[in-house]
Amino acid sequence: MAARGQNISLVFPRVSLLPLGIGSSRKWLCRACMPSPSRTQKIMEGLSSGIEAGGAGGASSYAALKRVDVQWLQMRTQKSVTGPKPEVAVRNTGRCLEIASEPKVYDVIVCGGTLGIFVAAALSLKGFDVAVIEKGKLQGRVQDWNISRKELDELVKSGLLSYEDLQNVVSTEFNPNRCGFKGSLEVWVEDILNLGVSPFKLVEVIKTKFLKMGGVILEGSAVSKLKVFDDAVELLLDNNKTLYSRLVIDAMGNFSPIVQQIRCGQKPDGICLVVGTCARGFQKNSTSDILYSTHPSIPLGESNIQFFWEAFPAGSGPKDRTTYLFSYMDVNPQCPSLEEMLELYWDLLPEYQDVELNDLEILRVLFGIFPTYRSRHEDSLMFSLPFFFFNN
């Protein structure tokens, strides 16, 4: 992720994604089939790593891309297995507070801070004694979040933000917003995902309010074990510290160790793959795309995939624009990697946004995987209160 003042311009020859054949038999010649280093690698290794944050889009280095691609490869090639499960959370009978050496007992402990800090602050406003555990530094990513004002106003109504806070965290506002397929009917709407919000500023505001209300944040700490008793949960952290809480909320996302325990051996049914950039140099930058498709399904790797675009003006500058290429698909070994999707992204972006890659200054490269399941695992309710799963 590029740090401020350290952005670079990239100049490289454009290699087109060439259509071969006509009609339904058309194939695409993809740069992902070419030898390494890939165009994606060259671009990403030329960017400063910058500040990395937790959550989707929090890291944008080439090394981070390869780590996620390894996860994705393992996910799509695995077979559902049976056998012993990793035990991060275990159910114990009896009561623990009567014999606990640590006298402090929280009402709620939230595991995972990027989104969990909002839940924690809301509970603190209600008078609960709350702590947040975050394995890294609790901070928002540099890349904008897109949201509608009506949704953002809920934070004001709840008391988490003032209207002054809201104005400070909104980085850009734009209208109208497009949905459609190229060559077909386009629908233009107003005030839908038309605000760009700085997660870095927003999380910092909520974090400051949470601490002023008496909340506790434990950064650089990860949960290694949870023991669920009748009266409370005993949390063992990786720094050998022990905490107690009457309720634990898991806000660590799809790759939470607790979710991994619940889903152990279960292959995802579907996946959403997302790649994109925030780049500078867009002359046309006053509207957004919520959902737009420029092509019919495209063969990539060994899959035939329907791709969609999103595009939003970015708050970092008047010519800065965030564009995402994403798709939903069943999970199978033939699915493309994120790097393959990025190679496709570089080829399709110029036609989509009517811009040459040579004219763009790449600020950040974005990517993420979001697995889905048709139903909750049979063991997902194995822990009754005081244990609660959030955002999974």
> pLDDT value at position 255?
84
Q: Could you tell me if 170 and 258 lie in one domain?
A: yes
pLDDT of residue 82: 61
Calpha distance 180→70 (Å, rounded) = 33
pLDDT band for position 11 (50/70/90)?
Answer: very low
Q: How far is CA 187 from CA 150, 184, 322, in A?
A: 21, 10, 20
Grouping H, G, I as helix, E, B as strand and the rest as coil, residue 205 is helix
331 vs 29, more confident: 331
pLDDT at residue number 381: 40
Do 255 and 384 lie in one domain? The reply is: yes
Angle at 46 between CA 41 and CA 48, to 5 degrees: 120
Q: Are residues 226 and 298 in the same domain?
A: no
> Domain containing 65: what range?
18-80+268-372
Cβ atoms of 143 and 55 within 8 Å: the answer is no
Higher pLDDT, 356 or 35: 356
Residue 44 maps to a domain: yes
The verdict on 252 and 382 lying in the same domain is: yes
How many other C-beta atoms are found inside a 10 Å radius of the C-beta of residue 99? 7
User: What's residue 21's pLDDT?
Assistant: 40
Q: Do residue 285 and residue 367 come from a single domain?
A: yes
Q: Is residue 6 part of a domain?
A: no
Mean pLDDT, rounded, for 216-233: 94
Q: Cα separations (Å) of 210 from 117, 159, 205, 328?
A: 8, 12, 9, 37
Residue 31's contacts (CB-CB under 8 Å, 6 or more residues apart) are 15, 17, 38, 39, 343, 346, 347
Please check whether residues 322 and 383 belong to one and the same domain.
no
User: Is 143 part of any domain?
Assistant: yes
Same structural domain for residues 94 and 203? yes
The model's pTM is 0.83
Q: Does residue 39 belong to any structural domain of this protein?
A: yes
Residue 346 pLDDT greater than 70, yes or no: yes
CA 67 to chain centre: 15
Domain membership flag for residue 102: yes
Task: Give the DSSP letter of residue 163.
Answer: H
Indicate whether 130 and 233 sit together in one domain.
yes
56 pLDDT more than 60: no
Instruction: Give the pLDDT band (50/70/90) at residue 86.
Output: confident
Q: Residues 163-184: what's their mean pLDDT?
A: 94
Q: Residue 238 in 3-state DSSP?
A: coil
Percent of the chain with pLDDT over 90: 67
Does a structural domain hold residue 11? no
Q: Per-residue pLDDT for 27 more than 80?
A: no
Q: Average pLDDT over the chain, rounded to whole?
A: 85
Q: Which of 363, 358, 272, 368 is nearest to 321 (CA)?
A: 363
How many domains does the chain divide into?
2
